[in-house]
Chains A and B, each alone.
Chain A
Amino acid sequence: MAPLQLTGQVLDVRRAGLYTVLSLTAPGLAERTRPGHFLNIGIGGEESALLLRRSFAIYQVQSRGVYGGSVDIVVGVNGKGTQWLVDRRRHDTLSIVGPLGRPFTLPKDPANCILVGGGYGTAPLFMLADQLRERGCRVDVIAGAATEEKLFGTLEIKRAASTLTVTTDDGSMGVQGRVTDVLDDLIVKTNADVVYACGPMGMLAAVAEVATARGVYSQCSVEESMACGVGVCMTCVLPVIGEDGITRMVRSCVEGPVFRGDRVRWSEVGTVPPDTLGAPSGGN
C-alpha cells in the first residue's frame, strides 16, 4: 500500500529516560503499518533551513480513538533537527510521510523468535512481539545499551516476552557486556528459528554473525543516514548480496530498512566492495 503524506498534530510529548516519545495524530497510518515500518518527519516548518526529513521507526499505532488514528515514535536527540522535534508541544503540527520501507517478515507457522534491540532500537520490536505472539510464536527479548539510561522500554517489553535479558556495557543494569554475549546461549536454549534485530550497525553485524553461525535466519533493521526516505536520493545505500549472488549498493529506505542478516556485507558498510555491480575497480 502506498505511503501517506499528511499533517499530524502533536498529542503528547513525554520523556522516557534519555528519549522522548512523541504521539501524533495520523489518520489512516495505523491500518497500513506493519512491524518494522518507519516514517519521516519534516523539521522546522515550511521555511526551515533544515531541509532533510528525519526518519523514525514506528513504535506504536492506534487505528481508532478520538483522533481517528495516531502514531508514536521514539526520538533520541543527536542534533538540531531532533532537538527541534522534542521541543514540540501539544497541538503543534508536523509533516509526516509513512509508513515507509520494507517491514519485518513474520513466520507463517508458530516459531521460536528472539528479538534483539540496541538502545532505542527496541522501538519497533513492541509491535513485532505482539504480532508474533498472536501467531503463536515464542518471543524472547534481549535489550542492550551502553548504560541503563540508554535502554528503552524494558519494563513494557517484558509483558510481551517469555523472557527478557538486559545487557549493559557498564553493568549498570542486567548482564555486563554486549547483546551478543548472551545471544548464542539463548539461541540454543530456546531452539530459536529466527532472530530479529534493530539497533546500531555494529550490533546488527555481530547479531547476524552469531545467528548465521548457528544456521538461524536473521532479520536486521538498519539505521542508515537518509535524505528522502522514499527511494529517490540514493543516499542511504549499503552493499547487499542479492538472490542472484551479485552484490549491489541498495537503498535502505525502500529495499530495507529490514534486511536478511546473511545478505548484508556488514564489514564493508561504508565502502563499495570491488565486486559490487558497477564498482569502479572491476566488477560488472
Chain B
Amino acid sequence: MSRALFTSGPIGSGSPLPAVDMSTSIGVFQTPAPVFTASGCAAAGKELDQFFDITQIGGIVTKSVMLNARSGRATPRMAETPSGMLNSIGLQGPGIDSFIENDLAWLRQRGARTVVSIAGGSVEEYGKLASKLRNVEGISAIEVNISCPNVEDRGQVFACDPNSASNVIQAVRRNADTRTPIIAKLSPDVTNIVTIAHAVQRAGADALAVINTTLGMVIDLDTMRPALGGVTGGLSGPAIRPIAVRCVWQIHQALPDLPILGMGGIRNGEDALQFILAGASAVSVGTVTFHDPSAPLRVQQELETALALRGFSALRDAIGYAHRGPDLPELEEEPE
C-alpha cells in the first residue's frame, strides 16, 4: 500500500495541500468522485442541483422507485431525535415508467452519474423493475433496496433473511443489463450482517450499500401515542454513524474484495474518511443533506482535505486502511 510522505506541514502553515486522486469504483462503475447522495435524501437530484453542481459529486442515488405510483404513508412522517431523525415516508413515488420518462431523463440530460434505487413488495416486482431499466441510457448502477416488507412472506423484510435477500438479488441480476453493477442495500437490523452480505454476493450482487436506516420509535408526550403515522420509522443521521462504521468494518473484513458504498450519519469529510478507512470504496451523504443542502459536495471537498492531511495521494490507498496489520517496527533502534 503506497502512502505518500506527509509533506504539507501543519494545518495553517500556508503551503497548499497536494491534490488527491479521488477516483474510485463500485464494481465496473468507475467514478472520478467518491461522494454520492443517499436514496430518499435527494429525490432525483433536481432540487439539490440548485445548491451545488450535482455532476461534481460521485453521483445521485435516486429515491427508491416501485413499479406503480405510490402515495406513501399518512403524516406525521418524521420525528426529530438526538443527532438524527425517524422517518416513515412509505416510499412515496411516481412509479418506474414515470420515473424513467421524467426523472431519469432529466438526470441524463444534466450529465449526472445516476444510481437508480429500486424497491418491491415481491421478488417478481424487483425482477420487473430490473427489466424495465434494461437498455435505458444513463444508469451507472442499480441499488436494490431490500429493506421492504415481503407481501408473500407475512411482511418479513427481505434484508433480514439471507434466502429472501438472495432471491431478490438473483431476480434483479437475471433481468438487469449484464453490464450494470447491482448494489444490494443492507439493513443493520439483523443478527449477523456478514451472513446477509455473503448471501447477496453469491446471488450476484457486485457491491453493497451499507447501511439502511435502523428501526426506531418515538412516543409523543402530548398525545401519548406513537409520534409517527406509521408507528415505527427508520432512524438516520449522525446518531447511527458508529453502527454503520461497524457494519462496513465487519463486511470488509469478511469480504475484502466486495466494494462497499458506505453511509450512515456522515456529516463532514472526517466522518466520510472513517467509512473509507473501515473499507468503503465510496460513501453516501443522506440525512445531513436536510441540515445542509450542499452537504454532498462539501463533504467530498472535506474528504479530499482529510486524505491529503494524512498523506494519501489517492483515495484508493485509504480504502480499508484501518484493517492493516501492526505497523512495522523501526529498522534501527535508538542507541542506548
Q: What's the minimum C-beta distance from A225 to chain B, rounded to whole angstroms?
A: 6
Q: A3-B50, A270-B229 are in contact. Are A227 and B76 (CB under 8 A)?
A: no
- Chain B residues 48 to 106 lying within 8 A of chain A, measured CB to CB, are 48, 50-51, 63, 68-78, 80, 82-85, 87, 89, 92-93, 95
A235 within 8 A of B: yes
B137 within 8 A of A: no
Q: What's the minimum C-beta distance from B166 to chain A, rounded to whole angstroms?
A: 28
In contact, B92 and A278 (Cβ under 8 angstroms): yes
B25-45 contact mask (Cβ, 8 Å, vs A): 1 or 0: 000000000000000111100
In contact, B292 and A95 (Cβ under 8 angstroms): yes
B87: chain A residues at CB < 8 Å are: 227, 233, 235
Least CB separation from A281: chain B residue: B71
Q: A230-B47, A234-B92, A237-B77 are in contact. Are A249 and B72 (CB under 8 A)?
A: yes
Least CB separation from B50: chain A residue: A2
A270: chain B residues at CB < 8 Å are: 74-76, 229
B287 within 8 A of A: yes
In contact, B47 and A51 (Cβ under 8 angstroms): no
A1-43 contact mask (Cβ, 8 Å, vs B): 1 or 0: 0110100000000000000000000000000000000000010
Q: A2-B50, A3-B50, A284-B68 are in contact. Are A238 and B75 (CB under 8 A)?
A: yes
In contact, B92 and A249 (Cβ under 8 angstroms): yes
In contact, B68 and A278 (Cβ under 8 angstroms): yes
Place the interface of chain B in its size category.
35 or more
Q: What's the minimum C-beta distance from B223 to chain A, rounded to whole angstroms?
A: 12
B289 within 8 A of A: yes
Tell me the complex Cα distance, A248–B107, Å.
24
Task: Please report the number of residue pairs spanning A and B whose Cβ atoms sit closer than 8 angstroms.
Answer: 115
B290 within 8 A of A: yes
Least CB separation from A280: chain B residue: B71
In contact, A53 and B71 (Cβ under 8 angstroms): no
B77: chain A residues at CB < 8 Å are: 234-235, 237
In contact, B84 and A272 (Cβ under 8 angstroms): no
A283 within 8 A of B: yes
Which of B42, B85, B89, B229 touches A51 (beta carbons < 8 Å)?
A: B85
Least CB separation from B293: chain A residue: A230
Q: A42-B291, A232-B41, A278-B95 are in contact. Are A51 and B84 (CB under 8 A)?
A: yes
- Chain B residues 237 to 284 lying within 8 A of chain A, measured CB to CB, are 237-238, 268
In contact, B290 and A278 (Cβ under 8 angstroms): no
Least CB separation from B294: chain A residue: A5
- Chain A residues 200 to 234 lying within 8 A of chain B, measured CB to CB, are 224-225, 227-228, 230-234
A230: chain B residues at CB < 8 Å are: 47-48, 50-51, 293
| Interface secondary structure of A, over-half rule | loop
Tell me the complex Cα distance, A227–B77, Å.
10
Tell me the complex Cα distance, A42–B80, Å.
14
Q: What's the minimum C-beta distance from A281 to chain B, rounded to whole angstroms?
A: 10
A190 within 8 A of B: no
B195-227 contact mask (Cβ, 8 Å, vs A): 1 or 0: 000000000000000000000000000000000
Q: What's the minimum C-beta distance from B313 to chain A, rounded to whole angstroms?
A: 28
- Chain A residues 228 to 284 lying within 8 A of chain B, measured CB to CB, are 228, 230-238, 248-249, 254, 269-272, 276-280, 283-284
In contact, B290 and A227 (Cβ under 8 angstroms): yes
A231: chain B residues at CB < 8 Å are: 43, 47
B22 within 8 A of A: no
A79-123 contact mask (Cβ, 8 Å, vs B): 1 or 0: 000000000000000010100000000000000000000000000
Tell me the complex Cα distance, A97–B43, Å.
18
Tell me the complex Cα distance, A3–B51, Å.
8
A188 within 8 A of B: no
B268: chain A residues at CB < 8 Å are: 46
Q: What's the minimum C-beta distance from A80 to chain B, rounded to whole angstroms?
A: 9
Q: A49-B82, A232-B43, A234-B92 are in contact. Are A5 and B51 (CB under 8 A)?
A: yes
In contact, A50 and B80 (Cβ under 8 angstroms): yes
A52 within 8 A of B: yes
In contact, B72 and A51 (Cβ under 8 angstroms): no
Q: What's the minimum C-beta distance from A102 to chain B, rounded to whole angstroms?
A: 14
Which of A51, A279, A283 touches B290 (beta carbons < 8 Å)?
A: A51
In contact, B71 and A272 (Cβ under 8 angstroms): yes
A42: chain B residues at CB < 8 Å are: 291-292
Beyond the given A228-B289, A230-B293, A234-B40, please list 7 additional residue pairs across the A-B interface where CB-CB is below 8 A: A51-B290, A52-B290, A232-B290, A233-B40, A277-B69, A278-B70, A280-B71
B→A interface (CB under 8 Å): 40-43, 47-48, 50-51, 63, 68-78, 80, 82-85, 87, 89, 92-93, 95, 229, 237-238, 268, 287-294
Closest A-B pairs by Cβ, 9 of them? A278-B69, A278-B70, A228-B290, A278-B71, A231-B47, A2-B50, A235-B78, A49-B83, A232-B43
A sample of 16 cross-chain residue pairs with beta-carbon separation below 8 angstroms, ordered by A number, consists of A42-B291, A49-B82, A51-B291, A52-B85, A225-B75, A225-B76, A227-B85, A227-B290, A230-B48, A234-B63, A235-B87, A254-B47, A269-B75, A270-B229, A283-B71, A284-B69
